[in-house]
Amino acid sequence: MNRFEDKVALVTGGGSGIGRATALKFASEGASVVIGNRSEKAGQETVNLIQKAGGKASFFKTDVTQLENVQKLIKYTVDTYGGLHAAFNNAGVDDPQAMTPDQTEATFDRVMNVNVKGVWYSMKCEIEQMLNNGGGAIVNTSSIAGLTGFPGHITYTASKHAVLGLTKTAALEYAKQGIRINAVCPGAIETQMLDDLTGGDHEAREYMTSLHPIGRLGKPEEIANAVVWLCSDEASFILGQGVAVDGGFTAI
Ligand code: NAP
Protein backbone atom coordinates (compact mmCIF):
# COMPACT_ATOMS: atom_id res chain seq x y z
CA MET A 1 0.00 0.00 0.00
CA ASN A 2 1.16 3.53 -0.74
CA ARG A 3 -1.28 5.47 1.40
CA PHE A 4 1.16 8.36 1.95
CA GLU A 5 2.48 9.02 -1.56
CA ASP A 6 3.31 12.76 -1.86
CA LYS A 7 2.60 13.24 1.86
CA VAL A 8 4.90 14.49 4.60
CA ALA A 9 5.01 12.82 8.03
CA LEU A 10 6.73 13.99 11.21
CA VAL A 11 7.73 11.62 14.04
CA THR A 12 9.03 12.91 17.37
CA GLY A 13 11.08 10.38 19.31
CA GLY A 14 11.77 8.72 15.96
CA GLY A 15 15.32 7.70 16.86
CA SER A 16 14.32 4.46 18.56
CA GLY A 17 11.58 2.02 19.55
CA ILE A 18 7.99 2.81 18.59
CA GLY A 19 8.94 6.07 16.86
CA ARG A 20 11.55 4.41 14.64
CA ALA A 21 9.16 1.61 13.63
CA THR A 22 6.50 4.19 12.77
CA ALA A 23 8.90 6.36 10.77
CA LEU A 24 9.91 3.25 8.77
CA LYS A 25 6.24 2.37 8.19
CA PHE A 26 5.32 5.89 7.01
CA ALA A 27 8.28 5.87 4.63
CA SER A 28 7.43 2.41 3.30
CA GLU A 29 4.02 3.82 2.36
CA GLY A 30 5.51 6.67 0.35
CA ALA A 31 5.75 9.51 2.90
CA SER A 32 8.71 11.84 3.22
CA VAL A 33 9.54 11.57 6.91
CA VAL A 34 11.18 13.99 9.34
CA ILE A 35 12.55 12.56 12.58
CA GLY A 36 12.77 14.87 15.62
CA ASN A 37 14.58 13.79 18.79
CA ARG A 38 17.64 14.85 20.79
CA SER A 39 20.22 12.18 19.88
CA GLU A 40 21.59 12.93 16.42
CA LYS A 41 23.21 9.49 16.22
CA ALA A 42 19.93 7.65 16.90
CA GLY A 43 17.84 9.90 14.65
CA GLN A 44 20.33 9.64 11.81
CA GLU A 45 20.30 5.85 12.17
CA THR A 46 16.55 5.85 11.50
CA VAL A 47 17.12 8.09 8.48
CA ASN A 48 19.78 5.69 7.18
CA LEU A 49 17.44 2.70 7.58
CA ILE A 50 14.72 4.51 5.62
CA GLN A 51 17.07 5.63 2.87
CA LYS A 52 18.57 2.15 2.58
CA ALA A 53 15.04 0.83 1.97
CA GLY A 54 14.56 3.43 -0.79
CA GLY A 55 12.55 5.98 1.22
CA LYS A 56 12.92 9.70 1.91
CA ALA A 57 13.79 10.97 5.39
CA SER A 58 15.69 13.66 7.28
CA PHE A 59 16.67 14.23 10.90
CA PHE A 60 16.23 17.52 12.78
CA LYS A 61 17.71 17.65 16.28
CA THR A 62 14.80 18.56 18.57
CA ASP A 63 14.03 18.81 22.25
CA VAL A 64 10.22 18.84 22.44
CA THR A 65 10.30 20.65 25.80
CA GLN A 66 11.55 23.79 24.02
CA LEU A 67 8.85 25.60 22.00
CA GLU A 68 11.43 27.31 19.81
CA ASN A 69 12.95 23.91 18.92
CA VAL A 70 9.54 22.58 17.92
CA GLN A 71 8.78 25.68 15.84
CA LYS A 72 12.09 25.18 14.02
CA LEU A 73 11.29 21.48 13.49
CA ILE A 74 8.02 22.35 11.75
CA LYS A 75 9.68 25.07 9.67
CA TYR A 76 12.43 22.63 8.64
CA THR A 77 9.80 20.04 7.68
CA VAL A 78 7.86 22.48 5.51
CA ASP A 79 10.97 24.06 3.96
CA THR A 80 12.39 20.61 3.13
CA TYR A 81 9.31 18.73 1.93
CA GLY A 82 6.66 21.39 1.25
CA GLY A 83 4.02 20.66 3.93
CA LEU A 84 2.91 18.56 6.88
CA HIS A 85 0.15 15.97 6.55
CA ALA A 86 0.72 13.50 9.40
CA ALA A 87 2.37 13.93 12.78
CA PHE A 88 3.17 11.34 15.45
CA ASN A 89 3.92 13.04 18.77
CA ASN A 90 5.65 10.15 20.42
CA ALA A 91 8.67 11.52 22.32
CA GLY A 92 8.35 10.36 25.91
CA VAL A 93 10.18 9.45 29.10
CA ASP A 94 9.38 7.14 32.01
CA ASP A 95 9.74 7.81 35.74
CA PRO A 96 11.83 5.72 38.16
CA GLN A 97 9.69 3.43 40.31
CA ALA A 98 8.78 5.06 43.64
CA MET A 99 5.74 5.35 45.88
CA THR A 100 3.84 8.64 45.66
CA PRO A 101 5.46 10.37 48.67
CA ASP A 102 8.91 9.40 47.41
CA GLN A 103 8.66 10.70 43.83
CA THR A 104 10.65 13.89 43.46
CA GLU A 105 9.61 17.24 42.11
CA ALA A 106 12.47 17.00 39.62
CA THR A 107 10.99 13.77 38.21
CA PHE A 108 7.51 15.29 38.09
CA ASP A 109 8.78 18.30 36.14
CA ARG A 110 10.95 16.23 33.76
CA VAL A 111 8.18 13.77 32.91
CA MET A 112 5.46 16.42 32.56
CA ASN A 113 7.71 18.62 30.43
CA VAL A 114 8.42 15.91 27.87
CA ASN A 115 5.21 13.88 27.91
CA VAL A 116 2.65 16.66 28.33
CA LYS A 117 4.18 20.02 27.44
CA GLY A 118 6.07 18.40 24.55
CA VAL A 119 2.85 17.04 23.06
CA TRP A 120 1.08 20.37 23.55
CA TYR A 121 3.94 22.33 21.93
CA SER A 122 3.99 19.85 19.06
CA MET A 123 0.25 20.12 18.43
CA LYS A 124 0.37 23.94 18.71
CA CYS A 125 2.85 24.14 15.83
CA GLU A 126 1.47 21.24 13.76
CA ILE A 127 -2.12 22.48 13.82
CA GLU A 128 -1.06 25.93 12.57
CA GLN A 129 0.80 24.32 9.68
CA MET A 130 -1.93 21.79 8.87
CA LEU A 131 -4.50 24.60 8.64
CA ASN A 132 -2.17 26.17 6.03
CA ASN A 133 -1.91 23.00 3.95
CA GLY A 134 -5.58 21.96 3.99
CA GLY A 135 -5.70 19.58 6.98
CA GLY A 136 -3.94 16.50 8.27
CA ALA A 137 -3.89 13.90 11.01
CA ILE A 138 -2.12 13.82 14.36
CA VAL A 139 -1.54 10.86 16.69
CA ASN A 140 -0.18 11.34 20.22
CA THR A 141 1.39 8.56 22.26
CA SER A 142 -0.46 7.89 25.48
CA SER A 143 -0.24 4.45 27.14
CA ILE A 144 -2.19 1.84 29.04
CA ALA A 145 -0.97 4.10 31.87
CA GLY A 146 -3.27 6.73 30.32
CA LEU A 147 -6.25 4.45 30.93
CA THR A 148 -5.49 2.77 34.27
CA GLY A 149 -3.56 3.48 37.44
CA PHE A 150 0.05 2.24 37.73
CA PRO A 151 1.29 1.96 41.33
CA GLY A 152 4.87 3.21 41.61
CA HIS A 153 4.61 5.46 38.55
CA ILE A 154 2.44 8.41 39.53
CA THR A 155 4.09 11.03 37.34
CA TYR A 156 4.19 8.85 34.19
CA THR A 157 0.58 7.77 34.76
CA ALA A 158 -0.58 11.36 35.27
CA SER A 159 1.29 12.48 32.16
CA LYS A 160 -0.25 9.79 29.95
CA HIS A 161 -3.76 10.56 31.25
CA ALA A 162 -3.04 14.20 30.38
CA VAL A 163 -2.11 13.20 26.82
CA LEU A 164 -5.68 11.92 26.38
CA GLY A 165 -7.05 15.23 27.66
CA LEU A 166 -4.88 17.14 25.19
CA THR A 167 -5.93 14.78 22.41
CA LYS A 168 -9.68 14.97 22.99
CA THR A 169 -9.73 18.75 23.42
CA ALA A 170 -7.66 19.56 20.35
CA ALA A 171 -9.62 16.98 18.33
CA LEU A 172 -12.90 18.70 19.20
CA GLU A 173 -11.48 22.15 18.45
CA TYR A 174 -10.40 21.17 14.91
CA ALA A 175 -12.97 18.48 14.04
CA LYS A 176 -14.59 20.66 11.36
CA GLN A 177 -11.34 21.95 9.89
CA GLY A 178 -9.94 18.77 8.40
CA ILE A 179 -7.55 17.85 11.20
CA ARG A 180 -8.16 14.51 12.91
CA ILE A 181 -6.40 14.05 16.24
CA ASN A 182 -6.20 10.73 18.10
CA ALA A 183 -3.93 8.91 20.54
CA VAL A 184 -2.58 5.38 20.82
CA CYS A 185 -2.37 3.64 24.18
CA PRO A 186 0.28 0.93 23.83
CA GLY A 187 0.60 -1.98 26.22
CA ALA A 188 4.12 -3.07 27.22
CA ILE A 189 6.20 -2.94 24.03
CA GLU A 190 9.68 -4.38 23.50
CA THR A 191 11.77 -1.18 23.47
CA GLN A 192 14.57 0.45 25.44
CA MET A 193 11.99 2.05 27.72
CA LEU A 194 10.65 -1.36 28.74
CA ASP A 195 14.20 -2.65 29.31
CA ASP A 196 14.84 0.36 31.54
CA LEU A 197 11.59 -0.30 33.43
CA THR A 198 12.35 -3.98 34.07
CA GLY A 199 16.09 -3.41 34.49
CA GLY A 200 16.60 -6.40 32.17
CA ASP A 201 15.25 -8.63 34.96
CA HIS A 202 13.75 -11.87 33.62
CA GLU A 203 11.11 -12.13 36.35
CA ALA A 204 10.00 -8.53 35.86
CA ARG A 205 9.56 -9.18 32.13
CA GLU A 206 7.60 -12.37 32.84
CA TYR A 207 5.37 -10.42 35.20
CA MET A 208 4.74 -7.69 32.59
CA THR A 209 3.97 -10.40 30.05
CA SER A 210 1.50 -12.08 32.38
CA LEU A 211 -0.56 -8.86 32.55
CA HIS A 212 -1.31 -9.11 28.82
CA PRO A 213 -4.05 -11.66 28.00
CA ILE A 214 -2.44 -12.32 24.60
CA GLY A 215 0.46 -13.93 26.51
CA ARG A 216 3.33 -11.86 25.14
CA LEU A 217 4.73 -8.34 24.96
CA GLY A 218 4.01 -6.09 21.99
CA LYS A 219 6.35 -5.20 19.13
CA PRO A 220 7.02 -1.60 18.03
CA GLU A 221 5.72 -2.49 14.55
CA GLU A 222 2.32 -3.36 16.03
CA ILE A 223 1.99 0.22 17.32
CA ALA A 224 3.35 1.62 14.05
CA ASN A 225 0.63 -0.19 12.09
CA ALA A 226 -2.09 1.37 14.25
CA VAL A 227 -0.56 4.87 14.09
CA VAL A 228 -0.16 4.88 10.32
CA TRP A 229 -3.68 3.54 9.89
CA LEU A 230 -5.07 6.25 12.22
CA CYS A 231 -3.30 8.87 10.08
CA SER A 232 -4.63 7.38 6.84
CA ASP A 233 -7.93 8.11 5.07
CA GLU A 234 -9.12 4.65 6.15
CA ALA A 235 -9.62 6.13 9.62
CA SER A 236 -11.50 9.18 8.26
CA PHE A 237 -14.36 9.04 10.83
CA ILE A 238 -12.16 8.49 13.90
CA LEU A 239 -11.18 11.43 16.09
CA GLY A 240 -10.60 12.22 19.74
CA GLN A 241 -9.95 8.56 20.61
CA GLY A 242 -7.33 6.88 22.75
CA VAL A 243 -6.94 3.61 20.87
CA ALA A 244 -5.61 0.79 23.08
CA VAL A 245 -3.12 -1.45 21.27
CA ASP A 246 -2.37 -3.63 24.24
CA GLY A 247 -2.87 -7.36 23.72
CA GLY A 248 -6.04 -7.14 25.81
CA PHE A 249 -4.45 -5.48 28.86
CA THR A 250 -7.31 -3.00 29.38
CA ALA A 251 -10.06 -5.51 28.47
CA ILE A 252 -9.77 -7.21 31.85
P1 NAP B 1 12.26 4.79 23.60
O2 NAP B 1 12.91 3.89 22.62
O3 NAP B 1 12.98 5.16 24.84
O4 NAP B 1 11.80 6.10 22.82
C5 NAP B 1 11.60 7.35 23.42
C6 NAP B 1 11.95 8.40 22.39
O7 NAP B 1 11.62 9.70 22.90
C8 NAP B 1 13.43 8.40 22.06
O9 NAP B 1 13.58 8.44 20.66
C10 NAP B 1 13.95 9.71 22.68
O11 NAP B 1 15.01 10.23 21.89
C12 NAP B 1 12.70 10.58 22.59
N13 NAP B 1 12.72 11.69 23.53
C14 NAP B 1 12.79 11.64 24.91
N15 NAP B 1 12.82 12.88 25.40
C16 NAP B 1 12.76 13.74 24.34
C17 NAP B 1 12.76 15.15 24.20
N18 NAP B 1 12.83 15.95 25.28
N19 NAP B 1 12.69 15.68 22.97
C20 NAP B 1 12.63 14.89 21.87
N21 NAP B 1 12.62 13.55 21.93
C22 NAP B 1 12.70 12.98 23.16
O23 NAP B 1 10.90 4.15 24.10
P24 NAP B 1 9.53 3.79 23.36
O25 NAP B 1 8.96 2.68 24.14
O26 NAP B 1 9.68 3.67 21.89
O27 NAP B 1 8.67 5.09 23.72
C28 NAP B 1 7.96 5.84 22.75
C29 NAP B 1 6.68 6.36 23.37
O30 NAP B 1 5.83 5.24 23.69
C31 NAP B 1 6.85 7.13 24.67
O32 NAP B 1 5.99 8.24 24.68
C33 NAP B 1 6.43 6.12 25.74
O34 NAP B 1 5.98 6.75 26.91
C35 NAP B 1 5.34 5.39 25.00
N36 NAP B 1 4.98 4.06 25.52
C37 NAP B 1 5.90 3.06 25.57
C38 NAP B 1 5.53 1.80 26.04
C39 NAP B 1 6.49 0.65 26.12
O40 NAP B 1 6.16 -0.36 26.77
N41 NAP B 1 7.64 0.70 25.49
C42 NAP B 1 4.20 1.60 26.46
C43 NAP B 1 3.30 2.64 26.39
C44 NAP B 1 3.69 3.88 25.91
P45 NAP B 1 16.20 11.16 22.47
O46 NAP B 1 16.58 10.62 23.81
O47 NAP B 1 17.25 11.05 21.41
O48 NAP B 1 15.63 12.55 22.53
According to the model, what pLDDT value does residue 159 have? 99
Q: Is 156 tagged catalytic?
A: yes
Check pLDDT > 90 for residue 200.
no
Fold adopted by 8-243: Rossmann fold (3.40.50)
Average pLDDT, stretch 112-116? 99
According to the model, what pLDDT value does residue 170 have? 99
Spell out a b/e string for 147-186, using b for 16 or more CB atoms within 10 Å of the CB, else e: beebeebbbbbbbbbbbbebbbebbeebeeeebbbbbbbb
According to the model, what pLDDT value does residue 127 have? 98
| Predicted confidence band of residue 1 (pLDDT cuts 50, 70, 90) | confident
Distance (Å) from CA 82 to ligand 1 centroid: 27
Say what the pTM is.
0.99
Distance between CA atoms of residues 10 and 26, nearest Å: 9
According to the model, what pLDDT value does residue 218 have? 98
Percent of the chain, pLDDT > 90?
98
According to the model, what pLDDT value does residue 98 have? 98
Q: Which residues contact 102 (CB under 8 A, 6 or more apart)?
A: none
Distance between CA atoms of residues 55 and 52, nearest Å: 7
Spell out a b/e string for 103-142, using b for 16 or more CB atoms within 10 Å of the CB, else e: beeebeeebbbbbbbbbbbbbebbbebbeeeeebbbbbbb
Q: Residue length, the chain? A: 252
**Strand pairing class (32-36; 179-186):** unpaired
Distance (Å) from CA 176 to ligand 1 centroid: 31
According to the model, what pLDDT value does residue 101 have? 98
Element (H, E) at 145: none
Query: Which residues surround ligand 1 with Cβ inside 6 Å?
Result: 12-13, 15-19, 37-39, 42, 62-65, 90-93, 114, 118, 141, 143, 186, 188-189, 191-194
pLDDT per position as a tens digit, 69-87? 999 999 999 999 999 999 9
Average pLDDT, stretch 139-167? 98
Catalytic residue among 121, 156, 174, 207: 156
Cβ 212 vs Cβ 246: under 8 Å = yes
Domain chopping of the chain, boundaries:
8-243
Distance (Å) from CA 232 to ligand 1 centroid: 23
Q: Which residues contact 106 (CB under 8 A, 6 or more apart)?
A: none
Q: Among 185, 193, 211, which is best to mutate for testing ligand 1, by the most ligand atoms less than 8 A from CB?
A: 193
Percent of the chain, pLDDT > 70?
100
Average pLDDT, stretch 10-27? 98
Average pLDDT, stretch 147-166? 98
Query: What does pLDDT average to over the chain?
Result: 98
